[in-house]
Chain A
Amino acid sequence: MTRAFGALLKRDLTLVARTPGDYTTPVIFFVVCTTLFSFVAGKDIAVLKSIGPGVIWVSALLASMLSLEGLFRSDYEDGTLEQILTAPAPLPLMVLAKAFAHWISAGVPLLLISPILGILMNLDSHSTTILVVTIAISTPTFSLIGIFGAALVISQKKAGMLLSLLTLPLCVPILIFSVSAVSAAADQLPISGHLMLLGAFFVFTLTLSPFGTAGALRIMLSN
């Protein structure tokens, strides 16, 4: 069982390593999207500072979701998914392996680049640290919510828009608590409550998403 998990994880990471676009594009998108907002804010540092956490967060969210669109694409088209579905290992576990691989390939690069964006947005060092912490807790949640959406839109050729429509509303709570954690940090307010809630969202999604996704996959591949 763990062998199957490891095999799928290793395979997905090998594939990502062979197609560098998979991990570089989300990062570039993240940076470009954040940069665009600075033009909206003008050169007013105060405005930039106040909208900074939100901007970075929305960009990170969009980058995560857009990178998820193709998560099942090749496996669905070449029949590998049928094989995974007819393998003895529990399907939710396999889903978890795929979500984990996605987080390593798309979430971690976002995490690594986010301090630079914090500096660009003139966040102080404490807020930047909190920004990185919230992104670290929440990108796995995004991967888990997104993989559920990706399973539902699996048969669509151009699924990006639909996937976003399905998953973004579900991400609202994470966005709210992450952004206010960073804002609260900037105001020297306590933030442990926010982080705990974000952690709770992660655990909640971690328990439900694999089963929902497995159910969705079984339905989508049923004929």
Chain B
Amino acid sequence: MLQINNLAGTRGERLLFKNLSFAVNGGELLLIKGRNGAGKTSLLRLICGLATPETGEILWDGESIANIRSEYFRSLVFVGHDNGVNLDLTVQENLHFHQAIKGNPSAHSIPEVLERLGISRYLKVPCRFLSAGQKRRVALGRLAISDARLWLLDEPFTSLDERALDAVKNLIIQHLDQGRLCLATSHQTIDWRDSKVNQIRLGEVS
């Protein structure tokens, strides 16, 4: 469903990786590994359409994402390094905004999702008063409030405690069980139970 062909990534003038090809099918989780600076974040930014590749192509259901941008953006949720959480808005306002601009709300309501992530108490609290881990959970809450087939996660487990980590892990497993796709960069070793997990390792190009 997601097909990467001969992709090259650069940062400034420096080549990070080239001739990268892989495919991710429904129900699969792809873990992107590599040392710091290997280009994991750059790869995710290419796949989520923020950056345009200099060479290579990214296909979604067989179509180049450059041609079906709007449709592609509707089917993905991206959680990057930055949370995308505004500090002056409440948790609810933040999530509500993200749900509205995505335009495809899922069956789960915002309070329900927050409940699962263990922050339902903070629904009406401005995000300024939340801890780093709580803000991260708000950001990850975006995953479940929209009905998206592709999740792109950049270090999703940063600053999460064990319970939150478990909750997010369960969210991902449930997502995969529905036959959907997930790409993540992560340093943690996590037991993904019987989900189908692939790995690629960046930083080994000559």
Contact = CB atoms under 8 A, between A and B. Distances in A.
Interface of A: 1, 3-4, 6-8, 11, 14-15, 18-19, 74-75, 77-80, 82-90, 94, 221-223
Interface residues of B, number: 35
Interface string B49-93: 111100000000000000000110110101011111111110001
5 contacts: A4-B100, A79-B83, A80-B85, A83-B101, A88-B74
Contact of A86 (B73, B88, B96, B104): B73
A58 to B, nearest CB: 32
B92 to A, nearest CB: 12
A82 B50 contact: yes
A86 B103 contact: no
Contact of B103 (A18, A74, A79, A89): A89
B88 A87 contact: no
Contacts of B33: none
Contacts of A77: 82
Given A79-B81, A79-B82, A82-B50, A90 B70 contact: yes
A86 B50 contact: yes
Contacts of B84: 78-80, 82-83
B42 interface: yes
Given A19-B88, A88-B71, A223-B42, A79 B80 contact: yes
B11 A87 contact: no
B86 A80 contact: yes
A75 B142 CA distance: 16
Given A78-B86, A78-B87, A223 B11 contact: yes
Contacts of A7: 96-97, 100-101
A88 B88 contact: no
Given A19-B88, A74-B86, A87 B50 contact: no
Q: What are the 6 tightest A-B residue pairs by CB atom distance, in nearest-first order?
A: A79-B82, A7-B100, A79-B84, A88-B74, A87-B101, A83-B84
B45 to A, nearest CB: 7
B18 interface: no
A146 B49 CA distance: 26
Nearest to B73: A88
B169 interface: no
Contacts of B50: 82, 85-86, 221-222
Contact of A14 (B12, B76, B93): B93
A75 B70 CA distance: 21
